[in-house]
Structure 1
C-alpha cells in the first residue's frame, strides 16, 4: 500500500513523523512525504522515503491566488501518486489535504491537528476575521465518511465537538507524536548541590510559549543573586505573527540573561547537560514535544495547566511542577525551589521518565496511529463490500 504524509514544513515531517514512515516502510509499504520546500526534505532519501516539495505553498500566505495554485498543485501530486491513505498534519494542511483528496479520489484520509493554532487562539483582528472562514472550511474538510480526525488531548476533542466541527465518533485521541525513549535517556550523574542548575526552554520562539516569562524569570534570579543558567533552544518563526524577533533574542543573549543555542540537531545530547525543562506556555498545545523529550530524559518539568501541557505534568509536585500562566515571578520561585531541593529535582525527573515510558513511547504512539489507519481502511472495505452485495 502507499501512504502520503502532508505537512506545512519538511522540518515537521522529518522530526515528528519519520519514525512512523519508517515503520510503514519496514512493514512493506511505500511512503511519500509532501511539504513546502525546505532544508530537511533532502534527508528523507537516506531513509528510503520520497519527498515531493510543493513549490507554491507558503504556510503564512493569505493570498487567494497563491492558495488556489497550492491546492491545484496538491491535487496534481495526489492524482499522480495515488496513495491509499493521506495523513494531513496541522489545520491548514487538514483543510487543503482533505479538499484535494476528494478531488483526487484518495480513498481514505486521516487529519491530525495538534492544538487549535493561531487563528483560534489569538485575539488579534486578523485572527478574528479569519476564524469564521477557517471554521467553515474545517467543517467541510472534516465532514467526510472516509476520514478520521486525530487529536492529541481531550480538551481539543471537546473544543472540536463543541464548535460542531465534527461528530465525536469521528475523533481519535492519541496523546503526542511520541518520543524515542531509547535515544532520550536520563543522564547517569546526579546534580549535586554545588553544581550550577541549568534550565532549558526548547521550542519555536513564540511569545505564547512563555518566552518572555522565561527571560523575565532569568532576570529575577540574577537580581536575587542566584547562579542559575537559562538556556534557550529554538529559532524565531517568521511565519507566525507572534514570534519574537531575531534581534530580540540576540539582545537577551548579549546581556547574559540566556544562553541562546538556536536550532539544535542533537536534542538527546543537549538534554543530558541540563536539569530542568521549562515550558511556561499559554498556547493551546497538542502535547508539547519538548516536554515529553524532557520527561524521557528524566528532567524535572515546569509547565502550566494548559491543554496539552497538563497531559504531561498530570500531578503537580509528583511528575513535574505547574506554574501560573504569564507569571514570571511564579516561574522564578519554582526554579529556586528546585535549585534548593536537589532531591525533589531527582524525584520529579524519575516520575517524569516513568510516565514517558508508560504513555509517550513512540512505539506505542506509532502503533496507535497504525490502528487508526487499519480501522479506517477496514471500515471503508466493509462499506464497499456491503454496497457491492446489494441486489
Structure 2
C-alpha cells in the first residue's frame, strides 16, 4: 500500500519475516536505497527483517520524513538523504546521486536494493565502483517516467539512459512484480540480460495480520478508496462515482493524503470543496489500515498509474474485500475478474465504474462470496513466506539455507 495510507508494516509481519530469515545464512552488509522512510516501512521492512535475521547488518538510505526513529527501533541503520523523484531538477538529482554514492562507498555493502525508479536511476553508479557488490533494481511498477506518453521528455530520457547503462553491468540484477513490467524494460533496452531478473508478485503479506474478527455487513455498503491522492490513482473518478450514486444511503470513504511533489496531486482547495459537498468522507493519513479495510465492504481502485501489483489491493483481499479495479496489468495480476472482483478496461469511464460499484454494493451475497474468494487468493498467491523464500533463494541475494 502507498506510504500515504499505511506507514508501518505490522509487528506480526516483521516477526514472521525474521523467523523466515533465521532459516537462511545471507550477506553480511545490506543497504536499501528508497525514496523515503515511510516507503521503506510500508514496503521493505519485512525484507530488511528477514535479511537481518539471516545475519546481515541492514542500513536504509532515504529521506527522513519523521519515521527514521521507527526504522532505527527495528535495529536498522539509517542515513538521511533527500532522494527526491525522477522528475526532480538536474542539480537536485546530481546532489542526491552524489550523496548516495558517498554513503554506499562508506558502507561497502555486499547487497544493495535500489527500490523504485528514482533509487535505481540515481543509485546505479556505485555498482561501477563496488564491483564485488550485487545491486538489485526493485521495480514496483515502471512508474510515470516510463509511461508511453512521456518517453520523449527529459526526465524519461534520463531514466532510460541510466537504466540502459546499469542493465549492462554484470553485478546489476532486476526484480519485477509483473511480466508486463519485465517486457517493458526489455523493449526499452533496460534489461539486456533477462537471466539477471526475477518476478515476485509483490512484497508479501501475512494474512493473519489482516484477520477480520467481526462479521462484515455487506448489506450496509461502505465503499473505500485508499492511496496517495493524485490524479493517476483514480481519486477524481472515485469522487464522481460517489456523486453519481448519491442518495443510495451508501458511504464512500477516501483514506490518504495528497502526494506533495507530484504535479497532479489533489490540491487543498479541491479537498475542501469535496468535503463541503459531502458525497465522500475523507479519512486522511491512516496507520490503522487493517481497521479501515475491515470496516469497508467494497474496495475501488481505478488507477491509471503504471504500478506493479498494488499492495493495497492485496491487503484489501486479505481483509476479505471484493474490489472494482481498472484493467491495469498490476491490478489484473491481483484481482481475478468475476471471482474476487470486477476488472474493467485500462481507463474505465465513471459510468462504467459506477455500474460495477452498483452491481456489488447492491448484492450482498455476491460481494460476500467475492470477498471470501479474494482472501483465499491472497493466502495462496501473495503470502509473505512464499515471497521472502523466493527472494532469499534467488542467486542475486546470495543467501543459503542454514
Same fold (TM over 0.5): yes
Shift of 1:264: 0.5
In terms of mean alpha carbon deviation, does 153-162 or 242-251 score higher? 242-251
Consecutive unaligned residues of structure 1, counting only runs of 5 or more, are 380-391
Secondary structure of 2:245's aligned partner: helix
Shift of 1:68: 2.1
Shift of 1:378: 7.9
Residues 287 and 311 in structure 1, CA contact (< 8 A), matched pair in contact too? yes
Distance 1:21 1:132 in 2: 32
Q: 2:127 aligns with which of 95, 101, 118?
A: 101
Secondary structure of 1:12's aligned partner: helix
Distance 1:60 1:111 in 2: 15
Aligned to 1:384: none
Distance 1:67 1:375 in 2: 27
Residues 280 and 326 in structure 1, CA contact (< 8 A), matched pair in contact too? yes
Aligned to 1:386: none
Distance 1:181 1:75 in 2: 38
Secondary structure of 1:159's aligned partner: helix
- Paired positions, count: 371
Q: 2:263 aligns with which of 235, 241, 258?
A: 241
Shift of 1:34: 0.8
Structure 1 residues 106 and 255 mapped into 2: Cα distance closer, same or farther (>3 Å)? farther
- Indicate yes or no: 2:382 matched with 1:360: yes
Per-residue CA distance 1:222-257 (angstroms, 9 max, x = gap): 1xx311111101111122112211221232122112
In terms of mean alpha carbon deviation, does 38-47 or 246-255 score higher? 246-255
Aligned pairs (5 A) from 1:216-365: 216-222=240-246, 225-314=247-336, 316-324=337-345, 325-365=347-387
Residues 135 and 172 in structure 2, CA contact (< 8 A), matched pair in contact too? yes
Of structures 1 and 2, the larger Rg is shown by 1
Residues 90 and 113 in structure 1, CA contact (< 8 A), matched pair in contact too? yes
Per-residue CA distance 1:29-58 (angstroms, 9 max, x = gap): 21111102211111112111111111x533
Secondary structure of 1:355's aligned partner: helix
Distance 2:293 2:397 in 1: 38
Distance 2:378 2:88 in 1: 38
Aligned to 1:145: 170
- Indicate yes or no: 2:224 matched with 1:200: yes
Residues 84 and 107 in structure 1, CA contact (< 8 A), matched pair in contact too? yes
Q: Relative contact order (alpha carbons < 8 A, sep ≥ 6): 1 or 2 greater?
A: 2
Secondary structure of 1:226's aligned partner: coil
Secondary structure of 2:222's aligned partner: strand
Shift of 1:63: 2.9
Aligned to 2:95: 69
Aligned to 2:237: 213
Aligned to 1:38: 65
Shift of 1:66: 2.8
What is the TM-score of this pair, normalised by structure 1?
0.90
Secondary structure of 2:211's aligned partner: coil
- Indicate yes or no: 2:73 matched with 1:51: no
Distance 1:273 1:378 in 2: 40
Structure 1 residues 219 and 368 mapped into 2: Cα distance closer, same or farther (>3 Å)? same
Distance 1:282 1:89 in 2: 21
Residues 202 and 290 in structure 1, CA contact (< 8 A), matched pair in contact too? yes
